Amino acid sequence: MIFPTSHIVTFQDRHWIYYGGTNERHGAAEKDVWFERDGSLGLAWLRLDGFVGLRAGEEPGWVKTKPFKLEGKRLEVNVDAREGGRIRIEVLDEAGQAIGGFSGDEAIPYISVDELRMRPRWEPQDDLSSLAGKIIRLKFHLQKAVLYAFQVL
């Protein structure tokens, strides 16, 4: 049996999950099954915000956000695109049309990255400050990559 803690500790950009484990099956004592019990404590961890991710394999794919008001100027992306994986992010208007300066052609592709706080760029834009207060959508183009989270700061 494994008994995880009811609390997850977030430390050093990881979610730490402590647990206890034993060689006993659930309900074994009630069935009058007796044997020498052995138990230990363990620790499992996940990358920050790594509970759920959107994965693209060899075949390229994309995901588009719902429209939202841009409150901030810097985008940070939690992505694992190691071993030849690719990610590129374009910024769209509310209707889903590419915004000049942030289109797919202007989005810098990132290859073989594994970052919790990747800061994408567009040629020649370094951030999203020129779009502050506007309604936008983000379109993440992925190949051999997992997108875990993004935030605007």
Q: Are 112 and 38 in contact (CB under 8 A)?
A: no
Out of 1.10.357, 2.60.290, 3.40.50, 2.60.40, select the CATH number for domain 54-152.
2.60.290
Write out pLDDT tens, residues 91-114: 999 999 999 999 999 999 999 999
For the chain, what are the domain ranges?
A: 2-47, 54-152
The whole model's pTM is what? 0.84
Q: What is the pLDDT of residues 3-27, one digit of tens each?
A: 998 899 999 999 999 999 988 777 6
Among candidate residues 138, 100, 12, 44, the one with its CA nearest the CA of residue 147: 138
* CA 33 from centroid of its chain's CA atoms: 44
